[in-house]
Structure 1
Amino acid sequence: MGSPLSDLGLTASVLAAPMAGGAGTPALVTAAARAGGLGFLAAGYKTPEALAGQIAAVRAEGVPFGVNVFAPNPVPVDAEAYRRYARAIQSEAEPYGLDLTAGEPVEDDDHWKDKIDLLLADPVPVVSFTFGVPEPAVIAALRAAGSLVAQTVTSAEEARLAEEAGAGLLIVQCSAAGAHSGTLTPERLPPEIPLTELIARVRQVTDLPMVAAGGLATPDDVAGTLRAGAVAAMVGTVLLRTDESGATAAHREALTDPARDRTVVTRAFTGRPARGLRNRFTDRYSDGAPSGYPAVHHLTSPLRKAAAAANDQEVLHLWAGTGHRHATAEPAAQVLTRLASKL
């Protein structure tokens, strides 16, 4: 593959993206590796203990894998805007017996230090970061421990910052990607630049190898990104309905609903730009949602969990990229092998 990924013994150029919140599972990561590629465990929203358990589960399978970590890049929420938004969405919470207006904003770092300590004490083949670029000392320590360090970037400027910090691989993500954008400036919605054009812009400022991500769902999509200069393609949404996915039943069903033919980028669920299927919640609250992560994420989390349990697709975050129509119910290895068929 002509990249640091070659040292991991990969035989396919299609990788499985990390999907925080439950959709990504050790079984999905293992399936990606057995198809010749690489999968990423999502450290986001997990305790360090839960992450350690998943690392142990994948390591026991004897396959290469990566771990993706949310790097701190807090967007403190305005307290009054937070309270105003909590009152606005309370009507959605009442059917579930929830009161979203009583609490104060929660601003945490998702156990950042403890997760880095874990990855230094128990190194994994690849560590990737999103949301922020870690301090160079953190990246240097992980590299010294034997991990390849990858950084999600959404622009040429971010790619420069990642290279300066010491990253060895770039995950170049365009706005077509499902779920959260990796943008370092979440107060602004990411521009809608085609992935191949974004790859070209990044190549103008750095020679680091690139993995292409965002909206990739067909063999032609994948082949096009490699022709544009990427060393591999990363897919996520197209794996949400696979046998190994941990996506909820409501999420899986929504992906097949012919009425849900549009995705939107919204801050309504987490206070940070993320792409998902349009529903009542995005229609009602996207315009009024404040910028503020992780406070808005914590505010809506109980509501989203209740909606998932009740199969309420109108209140649930239905993360999906622009290629969501290609998500199929079959083993992940079949999906990944098909996507690599034109390479």
Structure 2
Amino acid sequence: MTTALARSAAFCERFGLRLPILLAPMAGACPPSLSIAVANAGGLGACGALLMQPKAILDWAAEVRGATNGPFSLNLWIPDSSPRRDPVAEAAVRHFLGAWGPEVPEAAGDATPPDFAAQCEALLEAAPAAVSSVMGLFPAEFVARLKARGIAWIANISTVAEARAAEAAGADVVVAQGMEAGGHRGCFDAARGEAEMVGLFALIPAVVDAVRIPVVATGGIADARGVAAALTLGASAAQIGTGLLRTPEAKLAPAWAAALARTPPEGTRVSRVFSGRPGRSIATAYVQAATAPDAPLPAPYPVQRGLTGPMRDQGTKADDIDRLQAWAGQSAALARAEPAGEIVRSVWEGARALLG
């Protein structure tokens, strides 16, 4: 246990932290207020910048810096290749979604993410303590520019093979993400995301044994027991996502926050019905209907995300859990409706006690 605490202390010293807890970079659920609270408590703040334009990224970083001296990371998805479109299949999805929200325009599936190259430039300009990648690896040229500016690269991975590839590409840290995680897992190949569902307890020691760089554990960690277990298995730090979503600083939709508290591990489901990529959410009425045998197959990412946009927007306005994109990890019920800073501090205090 002394080794586990020494390993976490070294990680904290490297990144200017007071405790080895990272906020998960949850796209759409990482307002500045949440990172400010985590950073002020001594952890690493984070922003999932997938859907953010460059100016929004810079504005987010400026707001966080205006309220904390603590470090934070900025996260981007590595772009997928262009999806194969199927007008007939998309029409079937639009018809299905019409029963859950407003009529879906034919052009809804044309939605595309912001320009990745421009987002990368914004990350360099923002100059956070670290940037993190998900769904693949940053291009070598961008990695070189990060290193030249002293910005660490944290690579999210979901298998041992991905961890080795990240280390070989120059990653400074890997985040081992177990299948228990809420939202989208960081699978490099979306086609294999549902086949390679590795639990965190199996993944941590396997990745620790496979690479020489620090390993951060994430996926189903929401309390002191999870953090202590992760460090015991060889991780240098733990990353928490769903466990912080009920905090006031997360500013989550009330129906989503309330549903987390009553969701057992088996009450979540991995599906492609929101975005076209595998993601773990609460098994709401929509999720159950959209994954039924007679439901149309989801369109590929990001087409499906565009098609579900009208339903999700209406769900947000109505605060209707059955039409919200209610991402949730398997430890959702452990999330507490308390200030984020208090949770982060108490989780680490409890973990230290367990580690002896």
Q: 1:231 to 1:110 in 2, by over 3 A?
A: same
Q: Counterpart of 1:83?
A: 91
Q: Is residue 279 from structure 1 mapped to residue 284 from structure 2 by the alignment?
A: yes
Summarize the alignment of residues 312-331 of structure 1 with structure 2, pairs less than 5 Å apart. 312-331=320-339
Q: Counterpart of 2:203?
A: 198
**Out of 140, 143, 153, which is 1:136 matched to?**
140
Q: Counterpart of 1:34?
A: 40
Structure 2 stretches of 5 or more lacking a match? 1-7
For residue 5 of structure 1, report the CA deviation from its aligned partner: 4.7
Report SS of the residue matched to 2:276: coil
For residue 104 of structure 1, report the CA deviation from its aligned partner: 5.7
Summarize the alignment of residues 183-194 of structure 1 with structure 2, pairs less than 5 Å apart. 183-188=187-192, 189=194, 191-194=196-199
Aligned AA (2:152): L
Structure 1 stretches of 5 or more lacking a match? none
Question: For the Cα contact (< 8 Å) 1:90–1:101, is it kept in 2?
Answer: no
For residue 240 of structure 1, report the CA deviation from its aligned partner: 0.6
Summarize the alignment of residues 184-333 of structure 1 with structure 2, pairs less than 5 Å apart. 184-188=188-192, 189=194, 191-257=196-262, 262-286=267-291, 288-290=296-298, 292-333=300-341
For residue 259 of structure 1, report the CA deviation from its aligned partner: 8.8
CA shift digits 1:216-238 (9 cap, x unpaired): 12211110100111100000101
2 CA distance for matches of 1:13 and 1:5?
A: 6
Aligned AA (1:55): A
TM-score, normalisation: structure 1? 0.93
Q: Is residue 151 from structure 1 mapped to residue 155 from structure 2 by the alignment?
A: yes
Q: Counterpart of 1:43?
A: 49
2 CA distance for matches of 1:339 and 1:115?
A: 33
Aligned AA (1:319): W
2 CA distance for matches of 1:198 and 1:279?
A: 28
TM-score, normalisation: structure 2? 0.89
Report SS of the residue matched to 1:115: helix
Question: For the Cα contact (< 8 Å) 2:51–2:113, is it kept in 1?
Answer: no
For residue 191 of structure 1, report the CA deviation from its aligned partner: 3.5
Report SS of the residue matched to 1:197: helix
2 CA distance for matches of 1:181 and 1:36?
A: 26
Aligned AA (1:14): I
Summarize the alignment of residues 48-67 of structure 1 with structure 2, pairs less than 5 Å apart. 48-60=54-66, 61-67=68-74
Q: 1:64 to 1:147 in 2, by over 3 A?
A: same
Q: Counterpart of 2:124?
A: 120
Q: How much is the aligned-residue C-alpha RMSD, in angstroms?
A: 1.9
2 CA distance for matches of 1:138 and 1:20?
A: 21
1 CA distance for matches of 2:135 and 2:299?
A: 14
CA shift digits 1:140-194 (9 cap, x unpaired): 2112122110110000111122112211110110110011111112123154432
Q: 1:7 to 1:146 in 2, by over 3 A?
A: same
Question: For the Cα contact (< 8 Å) 1:260–1:277, is it kept in 2?
Answer: no
The structure with the greater share of residues assigned to helix is: 2
CA shift digits 1:261-293 (9 cap, x unpaired): 600001001000110111111111125433511
Question: For the Cα contact (< 8 Å) 2:181–2:328, is it kept in 1?
Answer: yes
Report SS of the residue matched to 2:191: coil
Q: Counterpart of 2:5?
A: none
Question: For the Cα contact (< 8 Å) 2:108–2:306, is it kept in 1?
Answer: no
Question: For the Cα contact (< 8 Å) 1:272–1:291, is it kept in 2?
Answer: no
Q: 1:144 to 1:319 in 2, by over 3 A?
A: same
1 CA distance for matches of 2:110 and 2:11?
A: 38
Report SS of the residue matched to 1:151: strand
Q: 1:75 to 1:264 in 2, by over 3 A?
A: farther
Q: Is residue 24 from structure 1 mapped to residue 33 from structure 2 by the alignment?
A: no
CA shift digits 1:51-77 (9 cap, x unpaired): 111100112222211111112124614
CA shift digits 1:12-51 (9 cap, x unpaired): 1111111111x21111111111111111012121121111
CA shift digits 1:286-319 (9 cap, x unpaired): 2543351111111112210111110211121111
For residue 325 of structure 1, report the CA deviation from its aligned partner: 0.4
Report SS of the residue matched to 1:103: helix
